[in-house]
Amino acid sequence: MLEYDFIGIEKQCISGVVNPVLTIQGSVLKENYDFVVLADDKEIEFDIQKEDENFLLTVLLLKTQKHIKVYVKVDNKKYIIYDQKNTMIKRFLSKIAGKIRPHFKLVNAIFVTLARGIKHLWKEYHFLVPPKLWGKYFKDFIHRIQVRGETFFYNPNNTEEYNIWLKKYEKEDEIIDLKYRPLISILIPVYNIERKFLSECIDSILDQTYDNFEICLVDDASTNKDTINTLKEYENKDKRIKVKYRKENGHISVASNDALNMAKGEFCALVDNDDLLSKNALYEVVKVLNHNKKIDFIYSDEDKIDLKGRRCEPHFKPDFSPDTLLSLNYICHLSVLRTDLMKKIDGFTIGLEGAQDHDLFLRISEITDKIYHIPKILYHWRMVKGSTALKTSNKSYANDKGKIAIENALKRRKIDATVEVDKKSGYYRVKYDIKSEPKVSIIIPTKDYADTLDTCLKSLYEKTTYKNYEVIVVNNNSVEKSTFDLFDKYKKKYDNFIVLDANIEFNYSKINNMAVDISKGEYIVLLNNDTEIITPEWLTIMVGYAMRPNIGAVGPKLLYPDKTVQHAGVILGLGGVASHAYIGSNRHDVGMYGRLRVPYDYSAVTAACLVVSKKKYIEVGKLEEELKVAYNDVDFNIKLLEKGYNNIFIPQVQLFHYESKSRGLDTTTEKYQRFLSESDYMWKKWSDQLNNDKYYNPNFSKKGWFVLDK
């Protein structure tokens, strides 16, 4: 334990037997702080990510550095937070512990799940459980072990597990004759790259199973003779290779434009000078074009190759997600674009080097919606020294250029908004400006539990910075005096507080629809009575997104009382009909590619807190009243998708969610039968959508979020 009450350490360890890395994660409750890292009493470099009081410090160590100390520097005073020896034995034991820990985790998960299950079965049934519920509880038992143990899946971010998965499941499709065989121009800007990497890059293209391509290489005035000699060697090796040698360095956008000007192909593929294509990469692209020649832009999944030559860090991407693209360049590689369109928008923007591809994709998506995603890894991004594949901070200027690219896109689209860089993830958040506050109707169904509702209302009225709203509390069969006293209290205190009596059998959809019918707002907020506002600007931010013509439902990050994640977007088909992503994750986690930090398109968001325009709510036929309890919000979200709207999760807005206290748990046979009936309804109506969530890559498991099935 540290003796300083303003410093908290969550995690600290040295990992890596051969290449040691020190990682320290924690928080410093001071406005300004910095770090000093000493190896054998000499200062060494480190990488630091900060967000407010939270930090993640990473130090690449040498095996020869024996004694490591880390200090936090506050107000010119140093406070030691780490003082350990760096020995081979310690690192070896740490690795062994890492191997054993998952097995202990599984055993612990089984015992914890059993203990909680026994407690629940005694409390609810005294072990006299209806026979029809045994199947449900067994499935729940297995699911909870999976969630807590995480050993029934391969972790894609674990290099060893990912490579095991590749050996078992990655298969090349049978090659068939293709009638349509367009010429593909592969654009490669080159600058001072090692011969080994450049030759491997070009060889991976020459080895393609699809052979109608040309390689357009532009050397950007390299000073490395090996680079020049390698280019000349390959230029004479194959007539499909064309090389231009620039006399002065113009940077990557200029060199890429030169390559574009050389292109004779109908399509252009973007490749970096040290990366690799999978053997069937171009074939897979052309196969898609044989099914639909009108497609303008194709992108694939990708992974990386580490310093040891191992494949790692796969990026399994969603189908085209326009709002996600405003948060980060999730498309990246492999990208193949129609040449005429690239030339129409004048290619790559000079001055946005480092974010030139992101800028290009934003501009291309403004002139075509014929964009297709291949959910296969067709591109391998090499992690070499100085590459963003190794560490984003290697090209920190790219963050600033990316921000400018997004700001430019918003200006072109005549959208008033501001863009901020999320320091923890390095990605972006757009905040849409609201010139005048349209009226918002906040609808809260409730039944008794006055204290729970009071917490919700108090946080709403005291914290919300947005002014123009009404609150419609829908009273569904309340009987307790304290509930009606609470209603009277808020009626007297606020003239925008309304109570609508809906003394009918509980039907969540119907209750909310009744409130929408009497609402006066342009925008609707569906809000559970067991929520509590954390973010004062919650309504301003969410309405800003809901006002966008292309956006349907908007949902925030919801937290359990212990500050772990309860909702971070809904994945269709996960665990059945649908389920939330990142349940139980730490509030401050970044998530895969920033999913817990920046806005992402999802197929659905929960109605525990959901904002949508009233016009769109009515357009899709409101909430489906046949779905009385379960999945009405999922059904509603899918209806918005079918109308062409995007549903979006925005993690910068946070609320607590105390989980349906006034409704209780669906543990009776009658409730469970209704649950099964509503599940059947969803599968009959939306089977294609539930089986194929376009925002959730099909390589991921439907039994656990963002993991790979074993």
Residue 158 has pLDDT above 70, yes or no: yes
CA distance 565 to 580: 10
Nearest residue to 243 via CA among 251, 252, 233: 233
In 654-691, which positions are buried (b, 16+ CB within 10 angstroms) versus exposed (e)?
bbbbbeeebbeeebeeebbebbeebbebbeebbeebbe
Question: Which has the minimum average pLDDT: 20-24, 203-207, 370-374, 591-595?
Answer: 20-24
Give the pLDDT band (50/70/90) at residue 347.
very high
Give the pLDDT band (50/70/90) at residue 665.
very low
CA distance 47 to 605: 35
- Would you tell me the crossing angle of helices 356-364 and 252-262 to the nearest 10 degrees? 50
Residue 482 has pLDDT above 50, yes or no: yes
The residue among 85 and 437 whose pLDDT is bigger is: 437
Q: Residue 495 belongs to what H/E stretch?
A: none
**Strands 523-527 and 417-421, bridge-based pairing:** unpaired
Residue 650 has pLDDT above 60, yes or no: yes
Contact 58, 20 (CB under 8 A): no
Q: In Å, how far from its chain's centre is CA 76?
A: 39
Structural Rg of the chain based on CA atoms: 28
For each of the domains in the chain, give its residue range(s) and CATH number, in order of start.
7-86 (2.60.40.10), 97-151 (no CATH), 184-414 (3.90.550.10), 440-709 (3.90.550.10)
For the stretch 424-481, pLDDT in tens is 899 999 999 998 999 999 999 999 999 999 999 999 999 999 999 999 999 999 999 9
Strand partners, 74: 77
Contact 1, 10 (CB under 8 A): no
Q: How many residues does the chain have?
A: 710
CA distance 600 to 605: 11
What is the reported pLDDT for 55? 83
The residue among 710 and 655 whose pLDDT is bigger is: 655
What is the reported pLDDT for 132? 62
CA distance 379 to 204: 10
Q: Any residues with CB less than 8 A from the CB of 201 and at least 6 apart, and which?
A: 188, 271, 272, 273, 274, 275, 276
What is the reported pLDDT for 23? 87
- Tell me how far CA of residue 371 lies from CA of 260, 361, 374, 380, 548, in angstroms: 20, 10, 10, 21, 21
CA distance 349 to 329: 15
Give the pLDDT band (50/70/90) at residue 226.
very high
For the stretch 125-136, pLDDT in tens is 566 666 766 776
- Dig out the tokens for 447 from the structure: 């039944």
Give the pLDDT band (50/70/90) at residue 530.
very high
pLDDT, the chain, mean: 90
What is the reported pLDDT for 508? 96
Residue 623 has pLDDT above 80, yes or no: yes
Contact 469, 441 (CB under 8 A): yes
Question: Which has the minimum average pLDDT: 4-8, 37-41, 66-70, 590-594?
Answer: 4-8
Q: What is the mean pLDDT of residues 494-523?
A: 97
Q: What is the mean pLDDT of residues 65-71?
A: 91
Nearest residue to 348 via CA among 271, 413, 254: 254
Report the amino acid identity of residue 513: N
Burial of 122: CB neighbours in 10 Å, binned 0-12, 13-18, 19+: exposed
Nearest residue to 228 via CA among 213, 209, 246, 203: 246
CA angle 538, 544, 547 (to 5 degrees): 135
Nearest residue to 38 via CA among 89, 85, 94, 90: 85
E-strand ranges in 132-220 read 153-154, 184-190, 213-219
What is the reported pLDDT for 103? 64
E-strand ranges in 415-491 read 417-421, 428-432, 440-446, 469-475
What is the reported pLDDT for 123? 55
Give the pLDDT band (50/70/90) at residue 147.
low
Q: What is the mean pLDDT of residues 490-506?
A: 97
Secondary structure of residue 297 in the 3-state scheme = strand
E-strand ranges in 281-334 read 297-305, 311-315
Q: Any residues with CB less than 8 A from the CB of 417 and at least 6 apart, and which?
A: 410, 430, 431, 432, 433, 544
Q: Residue 182 belongs to what H/E stretch?
A: none
What is the reported pLDDT for 121? 64
Burial of 274: CB neighbours in 10 Å, binned 0-12, 13-18, 19+: buried
Residue 203 has pLDDT above 80, yes or no: yes
What is the reported pLDDT for 511? 97
For the stretch 238-290, pLDDT in tens is 999 999 999 999 999 999 999 999 999 999 999 999 999 999 999 999 999 99
CA distance 572 to 581: 10
Q: What is the mean pLDDT of residues 151-158?
A: 85
Q: Is the dihedral of CA 335, 341, 345, 347 positive or negative?
A: positive
What is the reported pLDDT for 394? 44
CA distance 376 to 387: 23
Residue 393 has pLDDT above 60, yes or no: no
Give the pLDDT band (50/70/90) at residue 89.
confident
Burial of 136: CB neighbours in 10 Å, binned 0-12, 13-18, 19+: middle
Q: pTM for this one? A: 0.81
CA distance 96 to 108: 18
Give the pLDDT band (50/70/90) at residue 664.
very low
* Chain position carrying tokens 């807190």: 609
